[in-house]
Copies of this chain bind each other. A is one copy, B any other.
C-alpha cells in the first residue's frame, strides 16, 4: 500500500484522502513562504530534473521547490546527456539513482515515467510523459480550484458541493486535462462540459469513467458562449500544431479557433464568481486583456505549483529516507537494480 506512493506516475494512483493531504501540506508551505521561513530540512539531499522536452513552469517550479526544502538540484536536458549516445532511459535512470534522492522526469513518450519507475531505486516524479499524464499539474490545479472556490463559499471537500467545470481546446492530447479530469471526479460532484474541435475530443474512456462515477458529462452539446454562464471553472488549453497529421487539418481547426478562445467581451457572459485556468503556455486562446480580470487565475495557478511541488517532494523524500536510511548499502545488492520493489 505504502509502496504505491514511492513514485508519482499517474493521477489514478491517488485516493481522495491523498489529494487533501497534499493540499493541506501545500497550504502550509504557502503560509511558511509568506513568513519567509527558510528550510534546511533536506540539506544534503539531491533532486535531479531530467527534462527530455522543454519546459519553463514545471522545470523551474520543481527546482525552486527543491531549493526551498534545502535540497541541491542537478538539471539535465537530453542534449547534454548520454541519451545522445544511445543510452536507454532505464540505464540513465539507474545511473541518476546513484547520485540523487529523487528524479523529476519529463519525456516525450507516453509510458516513459512508468518504465523509469520500474528501473529506479529512488522516487520518480512524472512531469509529463507524451500525451499520457501530468499528475503534479493535476494536483496543483485541484489545489487552485480548492483555494479559489473556497473564497466563493464552495467547498469541494464536501460531498454536497456541486460544481461545473468546462474544459476547452485540445482535450484529446492534453495530458494535463486527462490527469485533472480523473482527480476532480474523485473530489466533488462535477458537471463536466467538454468543448473541442471534433478531432480533439476528450477520450471516450475518460468520459465514461466520470459517468460511471455519477458525474454529468456534456461533450460538445453547446457553444462556449452558452457554457460560460454555467462555469465555476473554465479550463482553457492550447491547440498544438504538432498534434495534427496534416497542415490542412490544422488549418481547418484553426479557422474556428474563436470558438475555443476568450477575450474581455466574452468574459462578460461568465459569472462574477468563477475562475479561468490554463496550464500555460498560452498562444492566443486567452487574450492578454483578460489578465487584469480578477477571475483570471492562471498566474495564481503558477504560484500554487511551487507550494504543491514542495508538498510532493517533501512526502517522497520522507518515505525514501525512512526506507533507505536503515540500509545505506542497498546500492550494492544487485536485486535493488531490478527496481521491481518500487513498481506500483
Contacts and interface: CB of A to CB of B under 8 A. Distances in A.
Interface string A294-311: 101001101101100000
A99 interface: yes
Interface string A8-45: 00000000000000000000000001111011000110
A38 B34 contact: no
A296 B337 CA distance: 10
Q: Which has the most chain B C-beta neighbours within 10 Å: A59, A87, A94?
A: A87
A218 interface: no
A64 B74 contact: yes
Contacts of A48: 60
Interface size class of A (residues with CB under 8 A): 35 or more
Q: How many copies does the complex hold?
A: 3
A2 interface: no
A210 interface: no
A105 to B, nearest CB: 13
Contact of A54 (B81, B98, B296, B329): B81
Interface in A218-250: 238, 240
B280 A87 contact: yes
B337 A299 contact: yes
Given A60-B96, A291-B338, A84 B54 contact: yes
A177 B233 CA distance: 52
A61 interface: yes
Contact of A337 (B85, B280, B291, B328): B291
25 contacts: A34-B329, A35-B328, A44-B67, A46-B67, A54-B79, A54-B84, A55-B82, A56-B81, A57-B95, A60-B74, A60-B96, A61-B98, A63-B99, A64-B72, A64-B99, A64-B100, A67-B74, A74-B75, A77-B79, A77-B80, A85-B281, A92-B281, A98-B305, A292-B335, A292-B337
